[in-house]
Amino acid sequence: MLVYALRRLVGAIPTIFIIITAAFFMMRVAPGGPFDQERTLEATVMANLNKTFGLDRPLYEQYGMYLGNLVRGDMGPSFIYRDKRVHEILAEGLPISMQLGMTALLLALAVGTLLGTLAALRQNTKTDYAVIAVATFGITVPNFVVAPVLSLVFAVILSWLPAQGWGDWRQMILPVIALALPQVAVIARLVRGSMIEALRSDHVRTARAYGLPSRMVVVKHALRAAILPAVSYLGPAAAALLTGSIVVEQVFNLPGIGRYFVQGALNRDYTLVMGTVVIVAVFVVVFNLIVDLLYAMLDPRVRYD
């Protein structure tokens, strides 16, 4: 399995390279520049700025310089935060985004699995219909709608929770719920469908025929098979949480990489946007690998030679 993991990581390098290349040229093709948002500058000052940051060179040279610096671990200076390098900015915001995303992912997995299991055990009852309704609502309503509504209701109207900031556990509740709700809905639907199928399988019927308690049959036998589709979905879910956190961090004013990404995109901070893209791409690749390995641990029929 270790050899498989190393082979997957090496095989992911071309994918990350393509993502970096596409993002680099798309940023340069977009209208505007990193210094257009400032007051009107003299031609000499603008020329000096472009020369300082290498923007006066041909595009292919800028691309080659960026790749060379990236291989050495240098993501370049930020055009907005002149006194900081990109890796310093990401080092400040990444722990917050990771904490937000991982908490939301664990919450989505736990709540989604529980709701899906309850719906399957009570198929075609009010509980089942309620879970399906909640799941449909969570899938159709995006988090950029849920986040402002949660902030308005629980922070502004009821004053139960803070609307902004990070550090206190109470400040985590609304952002985590807003980020996790769509994933809770998807996981609940996946677990419900696979649990219904698992409860009708031969090995579960055999376990019941041996007189095993219902709780043991559901948890030890049926749930292990039913949770596999949810585990497979964790890779795309991680990508959705990383991209969705950009909106959530803006709404709740969180100092994560999502806020820096938005500010960098609006101000054409090429290096900051590229650094965020690289980090997100690496995390998605690594998390998909972890999901594959976890799938093999849960399902003995899967083996990676």
Considering 23-37, 136-150, 170-184, 217-231, the range whose residues carry the highest mean pLDDT is 170-184
The answer to whether 283 touches 256, Cβ cutoff 8 Å, is no
For residue 299, is pLDDT > 80?
no
For residue 182, is pLDDT > 60?
yes
CATH 1.10.1840.10 corresponds to the domain 98-267+285-298: no
SS3 236: helix
Q: What is the pLDDT of residue 37?
A: 59
The answer to whether 110 touches 187, Cβ cutoff 8 Å, is no
pLDDT band at 41 (very low <50, low <70, confident <90, very high): low
> Residues 214-271: pLDDT tens digits?
777 777 777 777 788 888 788 777 776 776 677 888 888 888 887 788 878 877 888 8
Catalogue the long-range contacts made by 21-28 (C-beta closer than 8 Å, 24 or more residues apart).
Answer: 21/63, 23/273, 23/274, 23/277, 24/63, 24/66, 24/274, 25/59, 25/63, 27/268, 27/270, 27/273, 27/274, 28/59, 28/62, 28/270
> Residues 77-97: pLDDT tens digits?
888 777 788 888 888 888 888
3-state secondary structure 96-127: HHHHHHHHHHHHHHHHHHHHHHHHHHCCCCHH
For residue 20, is pLDDT > 70?
yes
> Residues 169-181: pLDDT tens digits?
888 889 998 888 8
Tokens in use for 285? 């690749």
DSSP run (H or E) holding 271: helix 270-298
pLDDT band at 70 (very low <50, low <70, confident <90, very high): confident
For residue 281, is pLDDT > 80?
yes
Q: Note the pTM of the prediction, 2 decimals.
A: 0.79
CA–CA separation, 38 and 88 (whole Å): 23
The answer to whether 144 touches 246, Cβ cutoff 8 Å, is no
pLDDT band at 298 (very low <50, low <70, confident <90, very high): low
DSSP state of 41: P
